[in-house]
Amino acid sequence: MLSDKHRAAYVDFYDAVRDESVLDRRTTILIGLAAAMANACDP
């Protein structure tokens, strides 16, 4: 599992990426998918 520090960084990143005022919806979804896949990978 992620440490509290890494979890907070991930949540901040995820929230920033989901802000659709900067990126279009498709890009937002693709980045979210990539972040979710990276989070589930074993080190």
Domains of the chain: which residue ranges?
4-40
Q: Tell me the whole-structure pTM to 2 decimals.
A: 0.48
Angle at the Cα of 40 (from 14 to 8), degrees rounded to 5?
40
Question: Tens digits of per-residue pLDDT, 1-43?
Answer: 789 999 999 999 878 877 788 888 898 888 778 878 888 764 4
* Closest to 16 measured CA to CA, from 4, 33, 32: 32
> Closest Cα partner for 31 from 16, 43, 41?
16
| DSSP code for 41 | S
Q: What is the pLDDT of residue 43?
A: 41
Angstrom CA distances, 28 to 2, 13, 23, 24, 42, stand at 23, 12, 6, 6, 24
